[in-house]
Amino acid sequence: MKLALEPIPYYWPRETVLAFYRAVALSAVDVVYLGETVCSRRHELRLPDWLDLAHGLAAAGKEVVLSTQALIESESDLKTLRRIAGNGRFQVEANDMGAVRLLEGKGPFVAGPHLNVYNPQTLAFLRALGARRWVAPVEMPRSALAGMMQARPEGVETEVFVYGRLPLALSARCFTARRFNLQKDDCQFRCLDHPEGLPVRTLEGQPFLVLNGIQTQSARICNLARELPEMARLGVDIARISPQSGHIAEIAALVKRVLLDPGEVVTVAAQLDGLAAEGTCNGYWHGAAGIEQVLAHQH
Amino acid sequence: MENPSRRIELVCPAGSLPALRAAVDNGADCVYMGLRDDTNARNFSGLNFGLEDTAAAVSYAHARGAKVLLAINTYPQASGGERWLQALDAAASLKVDAVILADPGLMQHAKREHPGLRLHLSVQSSATNYEAINFYHEHFGIRRAVLPRVLSLAQVEHVIRNTPVEIEVFGFGGLCVMVEGRCMLSSFATGESPNTRGACSPGRAVRWHETPNGMESRLSGILVNRYAGNEKAAYPTLCKGRYEVAGETYYAIEEPASLNTLELLPDLARAGLAAIKIEGRQRSIAYVAQVTRVWREAIDRCSRDPAAFAISPAWAAELRKLSEGQQQTLGAFYRPWK
């Protein structure tokens, strides 16, 4: 199994992003997804900057994929999308059917996690348009994924989210701006002050969600390291981890260790748990609520 | 001078046969409904239609010049996909006027097996731009798309100008703050989401507790809100909860409020909107009757003379009564809301 790093979901200063990918270039990651997928107001890096990064990472031996924004609202969003789709060099991860329309029949692309591929018929349809890889929805349980793997068409790889804060929802509204009583159109780029988003706690103090601009994530880290050997048995091709501001090379190295040697899973999974300050969850994989941490022996 | 804008169709909800009759009797052009299982996004116990009810619904509506739209708008799961195919078969054989679909695999099947069936793109498809809508049009021949509640009025107009597909928007009722089809908050807390099970914040997971600190509402044990003595409690939908963020306690995502776009009716008509949808298949028969009646009158008055259109105080009062927490919002239609 290969190891992939999804796009940075947060808004970081340009220098932070560049330093992050310098570390990624030296890390155990095999596939790097690049680009802004959450908010069109984020411009610390523009497409030429992402392309520069892409060339550098490719030169470092990484497979590079350019990702597209999940929520497309305006003509200017579409213009950006067209530029990415027509970049002519790097493969593209489509996170909206509008992106698929621009990519279909023009060579291979990746069907991203926001396309809602829940059944083999839809996967086969996308395969026929050129999808050579699909990313499973984070809420898809093991049982459903097993069904997908049995029926999956020839020549399409499967990628599964295994570590990081779960991307749970997108909105037209910016919740970070709302917290500071600002409107989205004049958000003062407050996301820059919160490199891992704004934690949301319930009224009794339970860490619950994270607000990242228009995106809502889980507070807990989804850690499916213990489930990796099973994913390998099902035939999953790629394990996906999500960027966070600290420890990314360490996380990548740990996940890679399990991929290379499943015998290490117990030790490594515990180390990965230790990196999750707000706790871990794995419920989706086990067919439970996503927030739950299901013990392995319960299944 | 002839009114340049076309007459907007009024699309009303029905969770039961009596609700469907109420919608038709009060002037709905179309009524949308779902079968009694997880093939639609209002999979609540005690709600929706069996096959016999569906046949009765179609004949009642057709006899009175109204259309019936069947929502089959969840995502067929890797196992159990037959239910979605059976729902399509039922739609075709019972002669509903259109099906509302979200899943591309299912659309492909519908196009192949039921070429005469009119396809509408569900809001659950998250199609917010004309490239996406035209994609579904080219591949499956969809005739209408329901837009997620994320676009401003100008953005809706822009979509309409750039697609041959009829556009429908939500006009009134419960407000999804998140992009429909891309929200997993419910399954994160309860294991069931709109995409997988046709459920959002399902009733079986809801608990109310009277405590010394006030009335608490929980969803799968997660505290969603706590109400002081005089506050009106709302259903604990996760996105309408009160939480603590960076030292402040407030409705971090959205207040309990209903969408109401009545005042935008002339603008929407001018933009070339095909249809307006009323949310609320889970609501009472009285709700369906009252909302339908108000919107029927408003659309008729607007299409007779859009320039002179004004909201009557009686309509406003009636819709306010039927709104969540008696609060209303224009949602994303009003840019500062974002």
Beta bridge partners of B144: B120, B166
Look at residue B44 and tell me whether its pLDDT is greater than 80: yes
Among residues B64, A293, B29, which one has the least CA distance to residue B56? Answer: B64
Nearest chain A alpha carbon to B102: A116
> What pLDDT score was predicted for residue B230?
84
The Cα of A199 is separated from the nearest Cα of chain B by a number of Å equal to 6
- Note which residues in 107-146 of chain B have CB less than 8 A from chain A: 108-109, 125-132, 134-136, 138-139
- Please answer yes or no on whether A77 and B129 come within 8 Å at the CB atom: yes
Chain A hits for B246, Cβ within 8 Å = 179, 198-199
Fold of A2-168+221-298: TIM Barrel (3.20.20)
Q: Does B308 touch chain A (CB under 8 A)?
A: no
* Cβ atoms of B285 and B26 closer than 8 Å: no
Using alpha carbons, list the distances in angstroms from residue B87 to A77, B49, B52: 36, 11, 13
Task: Give the closest of A71, A78, A143 to B179, CB-based.
Answer: A71
Q: Which amino acid is at A278?
A: E
Residue of A76, A82, A119 to mutate for B, most B C-beta atoms under 10 A:
A119
Among residues B288, B290, B296, B197, which one has the least CA distance to residue B14? Answer: B288
CA angle B159, B164, B166 (to 5 degrees): 75
The Cα of B327 is separated from the nearest Cα of chain A by a number of Å equal to 18
Mind listing the pLDDT tens digit for each residue in B308-332?
999 999 999 999 999 987 789 999 9
The Cα of A4 is separated from the nearest Cα of chain B by a number of Å equal to 22
Pairing of strands B328-329, B258-260: parallel
**Can you give the length of chain B in residues?**
338
- Please answer yes or no on whether B135 and A71 come within 8 Å at the CB atom: no
Q: Does B50 touch chain A (CB under 8 A)?
A: no
Among residues B177, B286, B188, which one has the least CA distance to residue B239? Answer: B177
- Please answer yes or no on whether B105 and A284 come within 8 Å at the CB atom: no
Q: Which amino acid is at B255?
A: E
Neighbours of A59 (CB within 10 A): 10
Task: Tell me the torsion sign for CA atoms A54, A60, A64, A69.
Answer: negative
pTM recorded for the entire structure: 0.96
Q: Does B195 touch chain A (CB under 8 A)?
A: yes
Among residues A52, A88, A48, A47, which one has the least CA distance to residue A69? Answer: A47
Backbone dihedral angles phi then psi of residue A17, each to the nearest 5 degrees:
-65, -45
DSSP-based three-state secondary structure for B62: helix
Beta bridge partners of A169: A216, B183
* Cβ atoms of B140 and B158 closer than 8 Å: no
Which single residue is written with the structure tokens 């708008």?
B73
- Give CA–CA dist B93/A166, Å, rounded: 42
Backbone dihedral angles phi then psi of residue A158, each to the nearest 5 degrees:
-115, 130
Nearest chain B alpha carbon to A104: B135
Q: Which two tokens stand for residue A135?
A: 């990313």
Pairing of strands B67-72, B30-33: parallel
Pairing of strands B248-250, A198-201: unpaired
- Please answer yes or no on whether B187 and A70 come within 8 Å at the CB atom: no
Percent of chain B with pLDDT over 70: 98
Enumerate helices (H) and strands (E) in chain B, giving the number of each.
Answer: 11, 16
Task: Give the closest of B130, B177, B222 to A202, CB-based.
Answer: B222
- Give CA–CA dist A15/A44, Å, rounded: 9
The Cα of B250 is separated from the nearest Cα of chain A by a number of Å equal to 9
Q: Which two tokens stand for residue A163?
A: 């570590």
* Cβ atoms of A56 and A30 closer than 8 Å: no
Per-residue pLDDT of chain A (299 residues; tens, 9 = 90+): 999 999 999 999 999 999 999 999 999 999 999 999 999 999 999 999 999 999 999 999 999 999 999 999 999 999 999 999 999 999 999 999 999 999 999 999 999 999 999 999 999 999 999 999 999 999 999 999 999 999 999 999 999 999 999 999 999 999 999 999 999 999 999 999 999 999 999 999 999 999 999 999 999 999 999 999 999 999 999 999 999 999 999 999 999 999 999 999 999 999 999 999 899 999 999 999 999 999 865 44
* Cβ atoms of A265 and A276 closer than 8 Å: no
- Please answer yes or no on whether B181 and A116 come within 8 Å at the CB atom: yes
Mind listing the pLDDT tens digit for each residue in B19-30?
999 999 999 999
Q: Does B329 touch chain A (CB under 8 A)?
A: no
Backbone dihedral angles phi then psi of residue B131, each to the nearest 5 degrees:
-60, -45
Find all residues with CB under 8 Å of A237, minimum gap 6, and list them.
A1, A2, A133, A157, A158, A159
- Torsion angle of C-alpha atoms A274, A276, A278, A282, degrees rounded to 10: -100
Q: Does B242 touch chain A (CB under 8 A)?
A: yes
Residue of A134, A180, A203 to mutate for B, most B C-beta atoms under 10 A:
A203
Look at residue B48 and tell me whether its pLDDT is greater than 90: yes
The Cα of A188 is separated from the nearest Cα of chain B by a number of Å equal to 14
> What pLDDT score was predicted for residue B1?
35
DSSP class of residue B179 equals E
The Cα of A34 is separated from the nearest Cα of chain B by a number of Å equal to 21
Task: Give the closest of B103, B129, B138 to A98, CB-based.
Answer: B129
| B327: exposed, middle or buried (Cβ count in 10 Å: 0-12, 13-18, 19+) | middle
- Give CA–CA dist A4/A119, Å, rounded: 23
- Give CA–CA dist A157/B18, Å, rounded: 49
Q: Which two tokens stand for residue A31?
A: 């596939």
- Torsion angle of C-alpha atoms A67, A68, A71, A72, degrees rounded to 10: 180
| A115: exposed, middle or buried (Cβ count in 10 Å: 0-12, 13-18, 19+) | buried
**Can you give the length of chain A in residues?**
299
- Kindly state the average pLDDT of the residues B147-153: 94
* Cβ atoms of A243 and A20 closer than 8 Å: yes
* pLDDT band, very low/low/confident/very high, at B78 (cuts 50, 70, 90): confident
Nearest chain A alpha carbon to B131: A98
Using alpha carbons, list the distances in angstroms from residue B231 to A171, B2, B15, B225: 27, 50, 29, 11
- Give CA–CA dist B58/B264, Å, rounded: 31
Q: Which amino acid is at A40?
A: S
Domains of chain B: 9-175+257-337 (3.20.20.70), 185-250 (no CATH)
